[in-house]
Structure 1
Amino acid sequence: MTEMLQDIPTYARPIEELPQRRLLPDPSYIWTVFRRHIKLALLVAAVVVAAIAIRVVTLQQVYSATATVLIEPRKTEVVKMDSVVPDIAPSSDIVDTEVRILNSPTLAARVAARLNAQGLDIGRFTTDVDKRRAAARLLRQVQIERSGLTLVIDITASTAQAEQSAAIANAFAEEYIDSQRDAKRNATRDASKWLDLRLVDLRASASQADAALQRYRIANGLMSAQGATMAEQEVSALNQQISLARAELAEKQGALATARSQLRRGGQGADVGAALGSNTIGNLRQREAEVSQNLAQLETRYGDLHPDVKTARSQLADIRSQIQKEIDRILSSLEAEAAVAGSRLSSLQSSQGRATGALAANSSAQVGLGELERRADASKQVYQAFLNRSKETAAQEGLQQADARISAFATVPLLPSFPNYKLAGLFAVVAALFAILVTTVLAEYLQRGVATKDDVERRLRLRYAGAVPSLDSTLEGLRSHETPQDYIVSHPFSSFAEAFRSLRAFVTLSAANARVIALASALPQEGKTTTSMCLARSAAMAGSKVVLVDCDLRRRGVSATLGVTNDGVTDVLLGKGRLEDGLFDDPLTPLKILGTSDAPTTANDPLTPENLQRLVAELKVKFDLVILDTAPLLGVADARAVASVADAVVMVTRWRKTSRNAAEAAIELLADAGAKVAGMALTMVDIRKYASTGQTDSYGYHKRFSSYYRN
């Protein structure tokens, strides 16, 4: 196919000279492609947005409420209870475990019972099966997860009712806290019961140990008081008494010895210390002194023989006798006291001997006593420890606190979490943009029509002859009651007429000395005949001698439209008439028309190369410009013969309608016929959408040149 196109004698630039494509697509090209299919793309986008909106509106709304629980192990307690009911440690494994507990069916069943007691409608709740089903439904409505790596657990409930979602989330959090508190309380209660039972055994064991110890002490004489045995206390007391007795004996013996020593010195005991301290002796000595003084006075007064002197002497002798007797009695008393002290010391020493023997006998029994004491002490310590633990447990039973707290209660949500209208809107926008992209790409891919200059030059390898607009698109919303070929006559300075002047300029500038121009198309209804008539009238109004030859003998488009009444083209081709007689005058312009009034009725084909060459040669003598309107190339073989005799062939293709495959097939036929293809023109172009083709000729800037035209 490519080789065939390269053989076409065209005035197009060599393909090597065409601009090369860049690695990335031109943004302006992407924009023009989008504009080409903007209506379809926007329609699809609107359908997508509407479908998403309908879907979102019809979805059941779901409200989500979240309660948060903070795992918070207690560090301060009224009573130390770590060994009875230990607190949890704030480790990752423990937090994950608590999450699993929150997701347990047991806790869900408790939550269901709580909600049912609160009057919340959670379905039937009469049998155990109903309770299990209610718990399962609650677990499906709740999502419990740890918040990152923190000690916070999020409890999110999602239902169709906002109040119910908040109630379920809060119920899970509260029931979890209550379950922890109940678990600790039950553990404390169980521990207290076990401790009470154990205390009974320990108390009996301690009592038995004490009884055995006491029996052993009694049996072995190891009774003690104030930390010592009776024998030890007795020996200690005897030692103290013996020391005192020895001191007392020494004192008594010393006093007795002193008194005896004084007696031996002739003092007759008057200076004995015991006598000196006697009140009796003191009184007697006082009387002795008084009598001695009285005797002295009497002797001085009366002499020795006086009776009073004798009486006084007798009294003095009697007193002195009494004093001596008292001294003797005192000495006898000292001897008796010394004897008693000695006897007492001997008795104490004897008792000490016996007590020492008993203490020595008890020493061998101390080994067994120590063992029994250790056993009794151990029993008492164990019993006391359990007794203290029992008291602590009993005191802690009413003070138990959970290892978590509710950091935030779930509030009643005002907006549903599903569907998320913001997210749905964003999704709708993204989906609409994606739909626009896909629609544009598919439409561009599936579009087989020739629509752009790029299609003509790069894909069909022809020169771009320009765009011929549709008449309605040039009127800016107005409607014309004239046909295009008549409008070009009544409005010669319109943008529609300017398109044909541009087409004529393209042909004359591209193909030098091109006086015979054939307009060809691949398929019918591509605007070829209208283009031929408008081009011919435009050239005729410009002052050129122009003839329009209707070579489509079967359809007779030009002849029927312009009202040709004779069979000039057929007669001239077959040599049955003169050229001058076959020409028909255009009623509106100086244009001459060589047409036919009736379609062929025989199989005789007048459009042979010889006939056409002779006709063209004759027409070139009389006219400046000869325009040949041909039949469709793909359907009628005559069109190739007509195109072969023209100086230049202009392919006419309907904008965005004629497929590239049809255009390529027509170009192949022209190549086979040896036609000189000058280029390709796009017809019936809507200049309001023309910018979407990416063209940069006058129609790309149509609005800027509106002041130059009079439509």
Structure 2
Amino acid sequence: MDTKDPSLDRRWTPPRVADEEVDKIDPLQLWHTVWRRKLSILSLVLVVTMLTTLVVLSITPIYRAIATLLIEQRSAKVVSIEQVYGLEGSGQEYLQTQFQLLRSRSLAERVVRELELTTHPEFDPLQQPEPLVNIKGLLGHLSFLNALSITLPEHLEEEAAPTEAQRFDQVTRAFMERINVEPERRTQLARIQVDMADARMATRAANALARGYIESQLEASMEMSMTATNWMNSRLGELRDKLKDAEDRLQAYREQENLVDVQGVATVTANELSLTGDRMIDARRQRAEAESQYRQVQSMRSGGWEKLATVPAVLGHPLIQQFKADEARARAKVEELSKRYGPRHPNMESARTELQAATASLRGQVEQIVAGIERNYQLAIANESSLRASFDANKAQIQDISRKEFRLRELQREVDTNRALYDTFMSRLKETAATSDLETANARVVDEATVPATPVKPRKALIVGIAGLLALFVGIGLALLLEALNNTFKSTEDVETKLNLPVLGILPLVKGRAERARIARLFQANTDKGFAESMRTVRTSLVLADMSEPHKRIVVTSSIPGEGKSSVSSNLAYALAQVGETVLLLDADMRRPMLAKNFELPVGTPGLANLIAGNARLEDCIRHLDGVDLISAGTVPPDPLELLSSPRFAALLDTLSARYSRIIIDSPPTQAVSDPVVLGTLADALIYVIKSESTPTPLAVKGVGQLLQHNAPVTGVVLNHVDIKKAQKYGYRYGGYYDYYGYSTQKA
């Protein structure tokens, strides 16, 4: 007979919460979480506050002395020595430099020496109080260290006393850590702060720092003046030597080159070169003219003197024209006489003689003029060559004079430069010597430090308040963290949300160390009113769940052992028997049977294993216990799952179902074995027991999922071992009915 609901034939998955619900933070839930652990949080805050108060009260108070200093930028001086060193500052960089000088080690050493801080109790470890815990002495009394031959670390052994230099260095570094310089914004004021346990010494130290800074600036200025003066003297000697050397080289060069006035010599030579150039141009022109006449003559020389007489240069000569006129007259006379006389006539001969004489004279004059042209040409060439040589000589002379002038000017410039530099340094040196006593300090004390009346630290109230506030935050954070890490079921809402199953009821935690037999009969004994009422609620929920068809075979299981499933099974059996039903309590947990122990049955009592194996009769295995019949597990078999899976077990259940109206089956846990799955397939209903604030959620989800995936009829969940007082104090609610009736009855 299959009485299972077909709707259960599906795969079960745990409920999924919408993304917006996951991201949503419930402030009320957070408040309940914090409120549940309020005592722990307040205890943490109280302890931390008390410890902080003790620590703060044990801290030595520190006083702060403040001296105000005005730092002025250096004004323009007659001589700026800082220009030599590049120390002339202006603006914010200059002020920042002065602030760093106030924090310098040299100034701190000056104050340490002046105030003799090396002997002050605050810096002398020999005069300081003993520590609250002497680690070395404590370890020295541990005798087992000596027994185990354990030696102390070297840093715990007594150290050698520091030298005077080391002691001074330690005090200086410690004093520098107590100095602070704070510039006032948009001003030239600096606040020198010294923090010490000795208020008067802090005041003296702050004033000493201010005075020491001013004195150190004056000393540094005087030292720079002396250094600059010495340097300028040495530099002046070098410049004097350079000037003397330059002047000697200039004079030696003048004497070597016999220079008196280079500028005048260069001017005369330039004029001569200009005149020679003009003459050379005329000579070149004359030579060209003579060369032209000469070449005309040479071209006509082969034609005799008659051709030469036709050359323009010859023909244009006045004598040639005169001789040619005489020849023409003589020739005309001969021609005229030849018409009247014969060739031998004396007049003809006389005329021919005159003609010959005129021709000879013309010829002689032509040859003489041609010879003159040739001589003029040679003279023109010679003249031009002579002028060119003179011009080249003048040009070379001018170039030589220019080179000498350039060298002379170079030497003169070197002399002038050295003389100007020497004169400048001489003037600066005299001015420095004249104004060296005009140095003034660039700072002055505006407000001297006064003895502080109240300490600046520790700020006890603030420290204690911050510590308490941090402790409160840490406590709240730890509470929320523990709540997040507590992945168990704490309320019915957790069960319904995480398992998507109804809660049949909750069973309160039984206080005290109750015996198993008493817990198994707790409902029947009716000594705990709250537990009895809770059990009736479970019974009612189970009965109402099977109105259409009664659930006869009811399996009770859990995730892991120790969650109270056996106690729930026995008390549920008594609750059902109270309403007049015939109930059989069957122990199917044959691996760790508990019902026989709970009801104190004798060892060897036959039970379920014996019935299935056929080694005992049914009547011999049934025990009658105050209205409830019980069949224990019997002799534990080597393979219980094989027996529960056999047809004989199914037939036995059919037989028992015909005899009893309810069969409560105590099943093994789901995470231990597979027996609950087999029993679930034969059951009409299955109750899953979860131990409050103990059962991990993943185990319950896995166990319920395994049952539903094999079509087990999981009816609901019973939340067991609920601490009602603690839950209500922590803000958990389990339904108005039990909160009002169950808990009120329990208190009554």
> Same fold per TM (> 0.5)?
yes
Question: Is 2:447 aligned against 1:407?
Answer: yes
**Match runs of 1:51-90 below 5 Å:** 56=55, 61=60, 63-71=62-70
Distance in 2, matches of 1:42 and 1:58, equals 22
User: Which amino acid counterpart does residue 113 of structure 1 have in structure 2?
Assistant: R
Q: Which residue of 2 aligns with 1:156?
A: 193
Distance in 2, matches of 1:689 and 1:709, equals 14
Q: Which moves more between the two structures, 612-621 or 598-607?
A: 598-607
- Contact 1:65–1:410 at 8 Å: present in 2 too? no
User: Which amino acid counterpart does residue 113 of structure 2 have in structure 1?
Assistant: A
Distance in 1, matches of 2:490 and 2:691, equals 8
Distance in 2, matches of 1:441 and 1:504, equals 37
Offset at 1:493?
Answer: 6.6
Distance in 2, matches of 1:443 and 1:125, equals 53
Q: Which residue of 2 aligns with 1:172?
A: 209
Question: Is 2:668 aligned against 1:616?
Answer: no
Q: Which residue of 1 aligns with 2:344?
A: none
Q: Which residue of 2 aligns with 1:507?
A: 542
Give RMSD over aligned pairs: 5.2
- Contact 2:587–2:631 at 8 Å: present in 1 too? yes
User: Which amino acid counterpart does residue 68 of structure 1 have in structure 2?
Assistant: A
- Contact 2:557–2:666 at 8 Å: present in 1 too? yes
Distance in 1, matches of 2:495 and 2:37, equals 19
Distance in 2, matches of 1:141 and 1:522, equals 66
Question: Is 2:113 aligned against 1:113?
Answer: yes
- Contact 1:158–1:165 at 8 Å: present in 2 too? yes
Q: Which moves more between the two structures, 45-54 or 56-65?
A: 45-54
Offset at 1:84?
Answer: 11
Change (3 A) 1:431 1:581: same
- Contact 1:609–1:645 at 8 Å: present in 2 too? no
- Contact 2:112–2:172 at 8 Å: present in 1 too? yes
- Contact 2:733–2:739 at 8 Å: present in 1 too? no
- Contact 1:450–1:456 at 8 Å: present in 2 too? yes
Q: Which residue of 1 aligns with 2:335?
A: none
Residue-by-residue CA offset, 1:652-679 (whole Å, 9 max, x unaligned): 1222323233323322431353211112
Per the alignment, in what secondary structure is the counterpart of residue 707 of structure 2? Answer: helix
Q: Which residue of 2 aligns with 1:523?
A: 560
Distance in 1, matches of 2:38 and 2:595, equals 37
User: Which amino acid counterpart does residue 443 of structure 1 have in structure 2?
Assistant: L
Per the alignment, in what secondary structure is the counterpart of residue 689 of structure 1? Answer: helix
Q: Which residue of 1 aligns with 2:31?
A: 31
Offset at 1:629?
Answer: 0.9
Distance in 2, matches of 1:47 and 1:699, equals 39
Per the alignment, in what secondary structure is the counterpart of residue 709 of structure 1? Answer: helix
Residue-by-residue CA offset, 1:372-420 (whole Å, 9 max, x unaligned): xxxxxxxxxxxxxx9xxx9x999x99xx8985334362534654625x5
**Match runs of 1:568-647 below 5 Å:** 568-570=607-609, 572-574=611-613, 579=618, 582-587=621-626, 590-596=627-633, 598-600=635-637, 605-608=642-645, 610-647=647-684
Question: Is 2:509 aligned against 1:470?
Answer: yes
Distance in 2, matches of 1:538 and 1:34, equals 39
Q: Which residue of 2 aligns with 1:270?
A: none
Question: Is 2:534 aligned against 1:495?
Answer: no
Offset at 1:529?
Answer: 0.5
Distance in 2, matches of 1:698 and 1:91, equals 78
Per the alignment, in what secondary structure is the counterpart of residue 67 of structure 1? Answer: strand
User: Which amino acid counterpart does residue 103 of structure 1 have in structure 2?
Assistant: R
Change (3 A) 1:42 1:652: farther
Distance in 1, matches of 2:189 and 2:720, equals 73
**Match runs of 1:78-477 below 5 Å:** 92=92, 95-116=95-116, 120=120, 135-159=172-196, 161=198, 163-176=200-213, 403-407=443-447, 409-412=449-452, 414-415=454-455, 417-418=457-458, 420-472=459-511
Distance in 1, matches of 2:32 and 2:664, equals 35
User: Which amino acid counterpart does residue 449 of structure 2 have in structure 1?
Assistant: F
Q: Which moves more between the two structures, 621-630 or 686-695?
A: 686-695
What is the number of residues matched between the two proteins? 493
Q: Which moves more between the two structures, 606-615 or 129-138?
A: 129-138
- Contact 1:536–1:591 at 8 Å: present in 2 too? yes
Distance in 2, matches of 1:97 and 1:694, equals 65
- Contact 2:207–2:448 at 8 Å: present in 1 too? no
Distance in 1, matches of 2:13 and 2:724, equals 26
Q: Which moves more between the two structures, 530-539 or 6-15?
A: 6-15
Q: Which residue of 2 aligns with 1:547?
A: 584
- Contact 1:493–1:710 at 8 Å: present in 2 too? no
Change (3 A) 1:72 1:160: closer
Residue-by-residue CA offset, 1:412-446 (whole Å, 9 max, x unaligned): 4654625x544543443344344335534543454
- Contact 1:584–1:592 at 8 Å: present in 2 too? yes
Offset at 1:65?
Answer: 0.9
Offset at 1:500?
Answer: 1.5
Residue-by-residue CA offset, 1:265-309 (whole Å, 9 max, x unaligned): xxxxxxxxxxxxxxxxxxxxxxxxxxxxxxxxxxxxxxxxxxxxx
Offset at 1:586?
Answer: 1.6
- Contact 1:468–1:681 at 8 Å: present in 2 too? yes
Residue-by-residue CA offset, 1:565-597 (whole Å, 9 max, x unaligned): 54253455456666555432224xx22222255
Distance in 1, matches of 2:451 and 2:739, equals 62
Distance in 2, matches of 1:104 and 1:640, equals 84
Q: Which residue of 2 aligns with 1:206?
A: none
Q: Which moves more between the two structures, 636-645 or 515-524?
A: 636-645
Distance in 1, matches of 2:117 and 2:643, equals 105
Gaps of 5+ in 2: 1-5, 81-87, 125-160, 230-429
> What's the TM-score, normalizing by structure 2?
0.54
- Contact 1:548–1:591 at 8 Å: present in 2 too? yes
Per the alignment, in what secondary structure is the counterpart of residue 553 of structure 1? Answer: coil
Offset at 1:683?
Answer: 1.8
Distance in 2, matches of 1:126 and 1:521, equals 77
Offset at 1:71?
Answer: 2.1
Gaps of 5+ in 1: 1-5, 75-79, 194-385, 473-477
User: Which amino acid counterpart does residue 484 of structure 1 have in structure 2?
Assistant: I
Distance in 1, matches of 2:448 and 2:554, equals 88
Change (3 A) 1:521 1:604: closer
User: Which amino acid counterpart does residue 429 of structure 1 have in structure 2?
Assistant: G
User: Which amino acid counterpart does residue 538 of structure 2 have in structure 1?
Assistant: L
Offset at 1:116?
Answer: 1.8
Question: Is 2:724 aligned against 1:687?
Answer: yes
Offset at 1:99?
Answer: 1.9
Per the alignment, in what secondary structure is the counterpart of residue 688 of structure 1? Answer: helix
Question: Is 2:520 aligned against 1:485?
Answer: yes
Distance in 1, matches of 2:212 and 2:664, equals 97
- Contact 1:65–1:169 at 8 Å: present in 2 too? no
Per the alignment, in what secondary structure is the counterpart of residue 417 of structure 1? Answer: coil
- Contact 2:12–2:708 at 8 Å: present in 1 too? no
Change (3 A) 1:146 1:577: same
Offset at 1:557?
Answer: 1.0
Offset at 1:521?
Answer: 1.4
Change (3 A) 1:591 1:705: closer
Q: Which moves more between the two structures, 102-111 or 603-612?
A: 603-612
Per the alignment, in what secondary structure is the counterpart of residue 572 of structure 2? Answer: helix
Distance in 2, matches of 1:448 and 1:14, equals 15
